[in-house]
Amino acid sequence: MRKFLTGLVLIPLGVLFIVFAFANRHLVTVTFDPFDASDPLAGVTLPLFVLIIAVAIFGVVAGSVATWFGQRRWRHTARQYETDAREARVELADLRSRWESRDTQRLPDLTRRAG
């Protein structure tokens, strides 16, 4: 069922991608020289669809990195809570073992008093 749903989504997206690529295959020149557009120093000529897809991929990656850095504080806080919880579990286990050993030492005293 999952493969069917994946195919149901990916096949139309693939067809859309191919149609987009054929519709936008004319060449464009991308330059980073704002002063001389006729003779660009740092420029590249490529199909328009490649440029659009590369910019979209760059946007997704940049957004992911920004989100990851933005959540750094929350990851640190979660890590601190996990450390605190681990220490609390160790302390609880230690207290339980002390309490159980205390109870086993008291039981013989209680039986002697009753007897």
Say what the pLDDT of residue 91 is.
94
Instruction: Quick: pLDDT tens for 20-56.
Output: 888 888 898 888 777 776 776 778 889 988 888 899 8
Element of type H or E holding 23? helix 2-23
The average pLDDT across 67-89 equals 93
CA distances from 38 to 14, 32, 35, 43 (A): 36, 12, 9, 10
pLDDT band at 109 (very low <50, low <70, confident <90, very high): low
Say what the pLDDT of residue 101 is.
83
Check: pTM over 0.85? Answer yes or no.
Answer: no
